[in-house]
Structure 1
Amino acid sequence: MNSVAQRYNFEQYDIEDGLTQSQVTSIIQDGKRRLWVTTLGGISCFNGKQFTSYSKTNGLNSNFTLSLAVNKQQDLLFIGSAKGISKYDGHSFYNYPNSERWVSRLVTDKKGTTYALNDKRLFKVNERDFEMLAVTPDTAEMLTSIRTDATGKVWAAVYTKGLYYLENNKWTQKKLDNTIQNLIITNILVDNFTKDKIWLLTTEGVYVATNNTLSRVFPQIDIKCMSIEQDHKGNIWIGTNRGAYYISPERIIHFNSKNGFTDNVVNEIFKDAENNIWLGTDGSGIYKFNDSYVTFDETQGLNSKIVMTIAKGPATGEIWMGSYSGIFVYKNKIVSKVSMPTGNEISSHINFLYTDHKKNIWIGTPGGGLWRYNGKQIEQMDKGYRSIAYNAIIEDSNNNIWLSTNYGCFQYEESSKKLIRITNQFGGGLLEMGRDSIIMGCQDGAYLITEKKNARRLNIKGVNGSSILCMLKVREFIIFGTADYGIFIWNTKTGATRNISSKTGLVSDHIYSLLKDSRGIIWVGTGRGINKLNSSDFSMIKNTDVDDLLVECNQNALIETNGYIWIGTTKGALVYRVNPLAASKTKPYIYISSVNIPAGSYKGKDLNKRLILPYKNNSITVNYTGIYLSNPASVMYRYRLIGMDSNYSQASSNSSMNFSSIPPGKYTFQVKAVTKHGLISLNEASFSFEILPPYYQTTLFKFLTVFLIIILIMLTVYIILTLNERKRKLRLRIKLEEQFKIRKQTAEDFHDDLGNKLTRITVLSEVLSSMISKDDLEKRAILTKISKNVDELYIGTRDILWSLNPKNDTLSQLLDHIKDFGNEMFNETAISFKVDIDTAGKDTKLSLDMSRNILMIFKESIHNTLKHANARNVTFSTRLNSGLLLITLEDDGPGFDTEYAKNGHGINNMYVRAKRIRA
């Protein structure tokens, strides 16, 4: 292909696309594969889809930016401007002090050290300041350029001294002939493919240093050279003040406005991580070069960029192109127009061009006639026929010409120079199936024509009812290109059909053209681009040089010639290599740009550590960016949230994901970029976060809740027991009060009644005694017994009355009563009765039962001691020991037989009473 008669594919980005300013001075790529571009109006960051711009308003020291360097280890960007150096860490800018001069170059070596070329002197950029360095002993040295090679080694050009490189912190001069001392070197490129080869741009042209020898090359480049780069194939790119040069071993191409580029100054050329070549211009923004195809359109001489049909010309290397503006021929690197021999405008609307076996060119129009070029002139072949729209044409193996039109299928009879109608159906594509059979595509399916006269519908599943625009035969298979259902592949032996559509990978279901090339690849021209199929199994070929090219192909517009595929589209004629260079296998790169929560946003280094979020911030939006500068539109994403999902999602073009109402727990969000053709990103972006549980789900809260519930239960039980106890005490108090009243009343009544009766008995005994003679001793003895029994009865009833009296229910009253009883019993006896009472000042109220039983126990004990103990001393004592009351009656008598005592009632009664009061 020639560099004059074709347009190369450059994709331009300027201020309309978001670039901050169109005068580009430098380009670099950071660790996330984003492009950074300096301009005379600030800097821009490009992720393949959009630009983000920064200026003095954002903190830059100047909008007049000139150079860039990246420290990928620390994720820092250094910007050189007309007012010194700025540093950007992803959040804010730091402007270095005392640097008011132009910084024309910045480089970062393999160790992460950044160097600056400031006013022809070299400086080392530190964290907060910079220091001047000397390359040579000459204190007045002048540096004209600095650059790093592929290994990260720093090179410097010193005026009148030569070329130097930095190794082991020492500057070493590159041995070259003395010619270099007379050159002003403006740029340096160390060749990545040839050892010890260095390219030098100078004010006098391009020089190459090889094996210590310096020589000028490419003298035809006689304009000022501004920049230089080497692509991944080893080719050299040179930016000049009028476009750019491409230098390969086979050719030199000057890219300019005539072949798809620009005539503006090219200040910078940069090769990115995906091997794309970017060119920064002075006034036209940046360009990306795509060498997969070239284009013929109005800029190369066509009157219209819509190319309806393409055919091989009668001469070798000749290509005929038909449009609605006539016929154009590409020959000997020149595009020229072919005039039609008629003034009818519609005859210039070309529907198809076809070359027969005699190298005649057949020309079909939509109502302007059927024409043929015989190598000398164009003649009309359908005189007498009017308003026929010729849609398709083929020549069968018998050299018969078949035509598909709006009036049906015709065969051209050479002998009579007439058209013979075969069918009446509106015709689309044509295909020879066998030596005596032709398939014609129609708007309602396909028809088989045999013996030049018989036509019958082919009953093929899926094809029936479809509009057939084109067909292709591959072995025993017939491929139908339809206007609405994509492709149908019919096996003529088995009758089976297979459909390939936009659902299974086609860019469009509207199929205009089909072609099988010399490699066995099937090219499919659709309404929204081009697909390729493998003819062996009809599988889709992905990640090719034609993927995602958004063009509308035309019918009868696919041919192969001289190793190239020509495709007629609505954007011109596209020309591809049959054997294209291998498509890029460089994988996309992905990073998380920001994480948004209701309380704020996190990005950059904030995402390197686990985020701890309160429960109220349990809704998260994650924004991520996949960088694939080769084809940004093909980037899709698959993600998962570990902790909720174990599998990745289906691929989606959405570059953000929102998660709402996330339960408490620990999570890790992972996302990877994938292209439509199956390339998976080089890395996997992720960040971890933790949603803290709400206070009511914390362990402490649960513990406190359980504790509170227990306390409430205990409090409830306590209240219930307390209330029950109060009720019991109330009932007991009422009962005791009633008993108190009854006892008091009983004691009073018993005392009064019994006292009266005993007094009466006593009085009557005394009256009776006065009536009995003193000598009547027997009767007087009886009266004495009566009086004694009355006294004993009185004494006995006195204990009962004492017990019934509520005033005597205290411990002190009981002990005093026992003491009095003991004194009374041992009075006027030889026994000494001693009392030792010590209750530590405590006086306890006793129940009637308790008081009565204790009294009776000790009365029985005192009585038994007096009667049976033969004691001389008896001691009644009480002690309070650890809350227990110990009441004791002791004597110094000889004791008694306990077994014999059990036969009596007294000792048994004492046991019964003690057991009754649990003593």
Structure 2
Amino acid sequence: MKSALLSILLICFHLLDLTAGVRDFTVKQYGIDQDFEGIFIYDVVQDQDGFLWLGADDGLYRFDGKTMLKFNQMDSTIGDLVTACMVSADGHLYLGYNNGGISIVEHGRYRKILSPESAPSKVNRLYQDNDQVLWGLTQNTGLIRIENREAAPVKVDLLTQLISYDLIRHKDRFYIGTNEGLLMLQIDEEQNISPIGFVVGSFGKAVNTLYEDPHDDEVLWVGTDNGLFYIEHGEATTGILNPVKGAEKMRVTSITRDHLKTLWVGTAASGLVEIELKNNHAYRLTRFDKSHDFPSNQISSLYVDRENEIWVGTFGNGLIQLNRAFFHHYELKKSGKIEGVNDLYQANENLYYLATDKGLVRAFNKPYQDSLTFEILNQTEKYQVTRILKRGNFIWLGTRNSGLIKYNVEKSEFEEIHLDPVDVGLSHLVRYIVEGNDGSLWVSIAGNGVYHLDDQGELITHYNTRKGFYHNEIFTILPDQAGNIWFGAHSVGLALLKPDGEVNFLTKDEIFPARDINSISQDNQGIIWIATSGSGLYSFDGENFNRYDEKSGLLSNFCNAVEVDDAGQIWVGHRKGLSLIQSAYGLVRRFNHPGELGETEAVSNSVAKDNQGNIWFGNPYGVTKVILPHIQHSIKKRETHIQDIRLFFERVDLLEHSTQEKLDNMLPNDLIFNYKENHITFDFVSINLKNPDGIYYQYQLKGYDKEWSPVTSFNLATFTNLDPGEYTFRIRESDHPQFWGDNYAELSFVIDTPYWKKWWFYLLQISIMISLFLITYMISAKVQNLFVIRLMVYVSLFIVFEYIHTELEPFIESIAGETPILQVGANLALALVLLPIELRLAKYLRHKESVSKRNDELMVETS
């Protein structure tokens, strides 16, 4: 019987041994190269600013995507071995330690809130419930309650007799994972805690980890030494432990769920497992272990960050980042001798059909296997399949040489659909098949125009040139949301069939400028996107056509296929790569590196979007999947953090330049530097853990710069020889160098003026000069020696002249520059300004001299 069944299967399908390996992910392991020495990772969390915090065997680490910053006992943590981390709702980081005790990070400083002596047992879990109460779970001494940032042990006698691993609170009930099973505790209105008992079916099983599903708050996932289980913990039930079929033989150490509702399970010896669920049962497993080139089989902790990156803590192999790839190419020619993927169609979430030059290919995931399997339908090997459309139990196939074929999936029967009339001697090449809004079919056959068929394949209307249609070679058809039918052809361009039967020849009537149309699509806003051969891409908003071409940033003006992702972004396939149009931001991005895409060429009109939002492009030698483009390629606005200010490239204690006693923010906000500390470097970062090198920055120093700086990917900025004054440093980030939002971080500071430029010193100088003149005048009134008087007056005048010249010299240089003749002219002008003073003094001295002579003459006459 088995032999007969196997024979039948082999007749129906030709199996290809094509797997995807770790497929849609790249793996990055963090070690010494990132200044990361921890090899045993106990916990991973992300704070509100985006920093990743790691509890490791040698201390606490903070990671910003590029730099690992290490903290240990010297930084006021209780111990070096951090076993539990939690970020509370108010943004504070709480830490639990291997030797007991809990601390909180406040204002960049650590404060102990529970000493190891008060609870001398390893802290395995820190948890915040829906009432915003914080709880700690120790391995041997029970619960810890944390309120008002103070911690106190909670006595539960039963917990002192067990080894406790994990904690979840659901309404008035605690679930505690222990070495003897899943224990339930009751918490009453007075906050008294008492045991209920073990969950049915859990006693005798070591429960290592718990995970409350954010997508279904009535489901609790339970990881044990005996596999993965779940509880539906409603109010009226005591809970029953249910096994997850397909995940029984695992020693589970950690559980999490990503934004796509995929369950991730870490195990003690079997690596990491990705589980896709149906009705809480595993129907597809992907294994990441050493046999699949994953760095470790011993998983200790799991965390999903805001960008859906999977972070894996291991025992012995440090930290691993599971980075979802942007693209994945499935090469089919070498492994399966499949050529020319002309069309793709997703039948359901696990089944795809590929129209190829070697026949119809079925691609699917087998249950409990982590590979994508490709099967050629043997009966179709004689056909070169050009198009696919699946409706119910039937697949409509367009072929290169046999016209239209209807395939009954259940009966494995093929029926050739004879379209009548078909001109004798013309090709039976089916160029396009599409389903209309009413369930009817639109079929384009080379040289024969377009056939409008009902759901059984019966002809409704035939459109060709004999009946007044604009062309018989139609390459693409789109039924739009308004009930119109768009047609694209080569040489004669675009036409539109309206619901009332009127046909508008848009290119012929010079409404649409391009003549060669390859593909047409429509986005959720109703905008029509038209891919042309040689004229770029056009959009139509109902009134106007707008063009995107190479000058706009498009990779090429030859556009083979176009599709819209779930975020409204436009993907265009070319012969040498892909273009992404993010029209909401006015951006066009290009992807054309073979190492990134695997295969750069997109076959004309061979593109499809699946139910998960992935976009598939057919290639001459396989298919390329654009993985979750609506998530991975969307523009994200991130905060930029100014991390530090350095003087002459050296780190300093910034509190010495501030009146603050502690750091309320990352940096003091009232920094004052003296005039010599005018060489300043700013360190900043915007956190993109998925692609830290894909961040672009612009900065501006108000008071120094008039414009934003050129775009840079470096996360530091240095300013030298800054003049005294008030400054504000601004920094902004972007995923794309041509798009900048209004969001920026800023920090103000002051460079103090030197004492000789302060107002009081100017006042002192002026007072001294006035005093000098007064003294000179008083002395000259008493001294009879004209030489002394003249000397004192001219010394005073020289001092005043030099003072004014020194003060005005920067202004003079700014006008005259370094040209000698201009400097002489400027000095001459200054001398001419001071000439009246000199003349009055000279007149005064002459008068003084004449008076002195007259007095001398009078004295002689008298004598």
Q: The TM-score by the shorter chain falls in which range?
A: 0.5 to 0.7
The reply to whether residue 15 of structure 1 matches residue 30 of structure 2 is yes
The reply to whether residue 218 of structure 1 matches residue 237 of structure 2 is no
Partner of 2:749: 689
How far the C-alpha of 1:125 sits from its partner, in A, is 10
Distance 1:469 1:39 in 2: 58
How far the C-alpha of 1:615 sits from its partner, in A, is 1.9
1:29–1:70: 8 Å Cα contact kept in structure 2?
yes
**Structure 1 residue corresponding to 2:857, chosen from 717, 729, 735:** 735
Label 1:219 to 1:274 Cα distance change in 2 as closer, same or farther (>3 A): closer
Moved more, 266-275 or 3-12: 3-12
The reply to whether residue 67 of structure 1 matches residue 84 of structure 2 is yes
2:353–2:388: 8 Å Cα contact kept in structure 1?
no
Partner of 2:285: 254
How far the C-alpha of 1:701 sits from its partner, in A, is 1.5
Distance 2:293 2:175 in 1: 31
1:515-914 alignment, distance < 5 Å: 515-516=562-563, 523-525=571-573, 527=576, 529-532=578-581, 550-551=596-597, 553-556=600-603, 558-560=606-608, 565-568=615-618, 573-575=623-625, 587-598=637-648, 600-601=651-652, 605=665, 607-629=667-689, 632=692, 634-637=694-697, 639-642=699-702, 653-676=713-736, 685-718=745-778, 722=783, 723=789, 727=849, 731=853, 734-735=856-857, 737-741=859-863
1:597–1:621: 8 Å Cα contact kept in structure 2?
yes
AA of the residue aligned to 1:105: N
Label 1:516 to 1:217 Cα distance change in 2 as closer, same or farther (>3 A): same
Partner of 2:184: 163
CA deviations 1:446-470 (Å, max 9, x no partner) are: 99499xxxxxxx9x9xx99x9x997
How far the C-alpha of 1:47 sits from its partner, in A, is 1.8
Label 1:285 to 1:178 Cα distance change in 2 as closer, same or farther (>3 A): closer
AA of the residue aligned to 2:266: G
Label 1:88 to 1:663 Cα distance change in 2 as closer, same or farther (>3 A): same
**Structure 1 residue corresponding to 2:222, chosen from 200, 205, 211:** 200
**Structure 2 residue corresponding to 1:229, chosen from 256, 274, 277:** 256
2:340–2:621: 8 Å Cα contact kept in structure 1?
no
2:119–2:141: 8 Å Cα contact kept in structure 1?
no
How far the C-alpha of 1:573 sits from its partner, in A, is 3.1
How far the C-alpha of 1:27 sits from its partner, in A, is 0.9
AA of the residue aligned to 1:264: N
1:60-459 alignment, distance < 5 Å: 66-70=83-87, 76=93, 78=95, 80-81=97-98, 103=122, 105-107=124-126, 109=128, 117-122=137-142, 133-137=153-157, 140-147=160-167, 156-157=176-177, 162-164=183-185, 170-173=191-194, 175=196, 179=200, 182-195=204-217, 197-205=219-227, 206-208=229-231, 209-211=233-235, 212-220=237-245, 221-222=247-248, 223-232=250-259, 236-241=263-268, 242=270, 243-249=272-278, 252=282, 253-257=284-288, 262=294, 264-274=297-307, 276-282=309-315, 283=317, 285-288=319-322, 290=324, 295=328, 297=330, 303=335, 309-312=341-344, 319-320=353-354, 329-331=361-363, 333=365, 334-336=373-375, 354-355=386-387, 359=397, 399-400=445-446, 434-435=470-471, 448=491
Label 1:735 to 1:539 Cα distance change in 2 as closer, same or farther (>3 A): closer
Distance 1:75 1:683 in 2: 24
AA of the residue aligned to 2:184: L
Distance 1:280 1:637 in 2: 31
How far the C-alpha of 1:245 sits from its partner, in A, is 4.1
1:640–1:648: 8 Å Cα contact kept in structure 2?
yes
How far the C-alpha of 1:503 sits from its partner, in A, is 6.5
1:153–1:166: 8 Å Cα contact kept in structure 2?
yes
Moved more, 628-637 or 206-215: 628-637
Partner of 1:345: none
Distance 2:692 2:64 in 1: 8
Label 1:152 to 1:672 Cα distance change in 2 as closer, same or farther (>3 A): farther
Q: Determine what percentage of the aligned residue pairs are the same residue.
A: 16
Distance 1:477 1:117 in 2: 57
2:61–2:68: 8 Å Cα contact kept in structure 1?
yes
Label 1:735 to 1:726 Cα distance change in 2 as closer, same or farther (>3 A): same
**Greater radius of gyration (CA):** 1
Label 1:305 to 1:195 Cα distance change in 2 as closer, same or farther (>3 A): same
Distance 2:536 2:165 in 1: 58
Q: Secondary structure at the match of 1:704?
A: helix
2:553–2:589: 8 Å Cα contact kept in structure 1?
no
Structure 2 stretches lacking a partner, 5+ long = 1-16, 366-372, 379-383, 390-395, 408-412, 414-428, 434-442, 449-468, 476-488, 494-507, 655-662, 784-788, 790-844
Q: Return the structure number with greater relative CO, CA threshold 8 A, min gap 6.
A: 2
Structure 1 stretches lacking a partner, 5+ long = 340-351, 364-372, 377-391, 403-432, 440-445, 451-457, 742-919
Q: TM-score, normalised by structure 2?
A: 0.58
Distance 2:116 2:854 in 1: 96
Distance 1:478 1:374 in 2: 29
CA deviations 1:253-297 (Å, max 9, x no partner) are: 32214998947233222233455543334548423464x988453
Distance 2:168 2:737 in 1: 35
Label 1:692 to 1:152 Cα distance change in 2 as closer, same or farther (>3 A): farther
How far the C-alpha of 1:147 sits from its partner, in A, is 3.9
Label 1:67 to 1:308 Cα distance change in 2 as closer, same or farther (>3 A): farther
Distance 1:601 1:225 in 2: 47
How far the C-alpha of 1:712 sits from its partner, in A, is 3.4
1:471–1:481: 8 Å Cα contact kept in structure 2?
no
Partner of 1:422: none
Label 1:301 to 1:97 Cα distance change in 2 as closer, same or farther (>3 A): farther
CA deviations 1:21-64 (Å, max 9, x no partner) are: 56543211124211123445665433234544567898988776
What is the aligned residue count? 653
Q: TM-score, normalised by structure 1?
A: 0.55
How far the C-alpha of 1:739 sits from its partner, in A, is 2.7
Q: Secondary structure at the match of 1:554?
A: coil
**Structure 2 residue corresponding to 1:480, chosen from 532, 539, 558:** 532
